[in-house]
Amino acid sequence: MIAIQCRWMFSLAGGVPRATPGLLTLAQWDGGWRVVAVGRNESTGSPHDLGDFAILPPLTNAHCHLEFSDLTEPLGEPGMSLPAWIKEVVRHRRAADTEGQRRASYLAGLAESRRAGVATVGDITTLPWSPDWISRQDASACPGVAMLELLSLDVARVDDLIQTASRHLSNATPWRAGLSPHAPYSTTPELVDRACQLCRETGAPLAMHLAESREELELLASGGGAFRELLESFGVWRERVFDQPRGSIDVLQQLARAPCTLVVHGNYLGHGEIELLSQHRDRMTVVYCPRTHAFFRHDEHPLPSLLAAGVPVALGTDSRASNPDLSVWNELRCAAERHPSVSPAELFRMVTTTPALALGFAPMDLLGCPIESLVAAPIGAGGDPWESLVEIPNVAPLLHFWQPPDSRGEL
Ligand SMILES: [Zn+2]
């Protein structure tokens, strides 16, 4: 066994964020090293001192689209409307549509996530994604949920899509499987209901983009606006889907029937919707994507109201199509800057415990954690550890900074 010490360690024992002077005992376990004690074990000698470093448990990215990870910069221009941006996304997808390109992009995103200290991801996948794309090694280094995107305004296609969804959920995969009816402007209420029902039967998690833009609210309320023009230009407009006024709350009432739902974005959730989410907080989590929110220059996110109502909120990167990288740590930094009233400890929970639970994983804390999954970063020496934490510009796997000693160094 060996011990390592550092300036601060941040943990979540019992779900409570804690910052304490860092001291961990590691032991060899199953061919690797694992944390066997938080604090010093009697049988270790002098700890290896990392100095002014912080050690953190693994991070979870609640929402991404790894398939766009080949992009070197976001599509379109900051401040553009969501319907205009979707045109750019469709153009990009058509340009890079071979299976080989998609797979390479996906794996690049997975590797980038690992380098950013992310050990669990909730990914929205589109066909031809296949479980074969993820090696067993990738799956153990970065477990996740592959949430199959379901998208069509054609009621006649619902049965086919649900059959495909059912096959996806029953496919053996090194990752878990979930579903993602895409958004209210790209799905029918029938498709959303059937997807929720399938998730109820299987216990699979479900994610849906919701209350993301003003244009979405306008389409649901009036059946018109920029989304209608977009859908008409694609030749997929269906009058019948939008002939009755609806709101985000109607969609949330459908989603509340699934066992475990991630409500992605929620930029324009109002008081009534937040109350409904609060009533279902045991199974509904909002995923806030701060830098994507900033890219589109949306109105201020209702994060403080959601937290005040007890709604679980997780952070996500969304994709490289609206974000420069896949670091969920950078999302935490952005959220800290935009919402100074939210405590750093609360933000820390939003990239660890809350997203892990929302995706159906037991949150990983320091104790028992394999060394490959531990996260570390240089940290300022003085002051309040939580304030210093949100000042950290970048985190990386601990192994990036420190390797356990070889046999000669073991004590
Ligand atoms: Zn998304």
- Average pLDDT of the segment spanning 44-59: 92
Architecture of domain 59-358: Alpha-Beta Barrel (3.20)
Residue 223 CA to ligand 1 centre (angstroms) = 23
Cα of 210 vs centre of ligand 1, distance in Å, is 10
How does residue 98 score in pLDDT terms, banded at 50, 70 and 90? confident
Q: Which two tokens stand for residue 398?
A: 């601990």
Query: pLDDT at residue 234 above 90?
Result: yes
DSSP single-letter state for residue 195: H
Condensed to tens digits (0 to 9), the pLDDT of residues 346-383 reads 999 999 999 999 999 988 899 999 999 999 999 988 78
Q: What is the CA angle 222-227-232, rounded to 5?
A: 105
Note whether 356 and 120 are within 8 A (CB).
Answer: yes
Overall average pLDDT of the 111-134 stretch:
92
Average pLDDT value for the chain = 93
CA 180 to ligand 1 center in whole angstroms: 10
Model pLDDT, residue 3: 92
Going from the Cα of 319 to the center of ligand 1, the distance in angstroms, rounded, reads 7
Ligand 1 centroid, distance to 316 Cα (angstroms):
9
Q: Which amino acid is at 7?
A: R
Mean pLDDT is lowest, of 99-108, 191-200, 319-328, for 99-108
Which of 33-47, 182-196, 302-316, 381-395 is predicted least confidently? 33-47
Cα separation, 256 vs 367, in Å, equals: 34
pTM: 0.95
Q: Which 8-state DSSP code applies to residue 328? A: H
Residue with tokens 């989304």: 227
**Nearest CA among 130, 136, 108 for reference residue 319:** 108
Whether the upstream peptide bond of residue 128 has omega within 30° of 0, thus cis, is yes
SS3 53: strand
Which residues does 121 contact at the CB level (< 8 Å), separation at least 6?
60, 61, 64, 66, 110, 113, 142, 144, 145
Sorting pLDDT into bands at 50, 70 and 90, what band is 389?
very high
Instruction: Report the separation in Å between the CA atom of 150 and the middle of ligand 1, taken as the mean of its atom positions.
Output: 13
Q: What number of CA atoms fall less than 13 Å from residue 33's CA on the CB side? A: 23
User: Stretch 71-80: mean pLDDT, rounded?
Assistant: 93
Are residues 131 and 175 in contact, defined by beta-carbon separation less than 8 angstroms?
Answer: yes
- The pLDDT score that the predictor gives to residue 406 is 66
d(CA 323, ligand 1 centre) in Å: 11
Q: What percent of the chain has pLDDT over 90?
A: 81
Cα–Cα distance for residue pair 202/385, rounded to 1 Å = 42
In this prediction, residue 138 carries a pLDDT of 83
- Quote the pLDDT of residue 279: 98
State the Cα–Cα distance between residues 21 and 209, nearest whole angstrom. 40
**Ligand 1 center from residue 318 Cα (angstroms):** 5
143-179: string of b/e by CB count within 10 Å (b at 16+)?
bbbbbbbbbbbeeebbeebbeebeebbeeebbbbbbb
Question: Any idea of the CA torsion for 216, 219, 222, 228, to the nearest 10 degrees?
Answer: 150
CATH code of the domain occupying 2-58+365-409: 2.30.40
Structure confidence at residue 231 as a pLDDT band (50, 70, 90) = very high
Cα of 67 to ligand 1 centre, how many Å?
A: 11
| Spacing, Cα 332 to ligand 1 middle (Å) | 17
What does the pLDDT read at residue 252?
98
Measured in angstroms, how far is the CA atom of residue 65 from the centroid of ligand 1? 6
**For the chain, which residues make up each domain, given as ranges?**
2-58+365-409, 59-358
